[in-house]
Amino acid sequence: MLFSPLLPVHISAGVVGILLGTAAMSFRKGSPRHALAGKVFVIAMMTMSSSAVYLALTKHQMGNVLGGTFAFYLVTTAWLTARRGDGETSLFDWARF
């Protein structure tokens, strides 16, 4: 397989993630623009990492499968942490060891 139709999606999501990650850092924390940029950043990073896992699986690149899975995990847990209010716990907090 020389070219996967998922590759442009992966690349586009990476570019959007870089741009909106930069935008989220430049906006004041707590502002509506910061929140919107952060939400789109999370979606872009989840899209990029999940497509990376699929592309790596099709090419039998286990190191990249692990890297994409780890990136997805890091973005997901960071998003869950940012969504949680002060002093609150979630089901995820109780489920871990």
pLDDT tens by residue, 67-90:
999 999 999 988 988 876 666 666
User: Identity (one letter) of the amino acid at 28?
Assistant: R
SS3 call for 46:
helix
Whether 27 and 34 have beta carbons less than 8 Å apart is answered as yes
DSSP conformation letters of 12-37:
HHHHHHHHHHHHHHHSPTTSHHHHHH
Q: What's the pLDDT tens digit per position in 12-37?
A: 999 999 999 999 999 999 899 999 99
Domain spans of the chain, in order of start: 7-95
Contacts of 56 (CB under 8 A, 6+ apart): 62, 63, 64, 65, 67, 68
Q: Which of 60, 85, 90, 54 is nearest to 72 (CA)?
A: 54
Q: What is the reported pTM?
A: 0.81
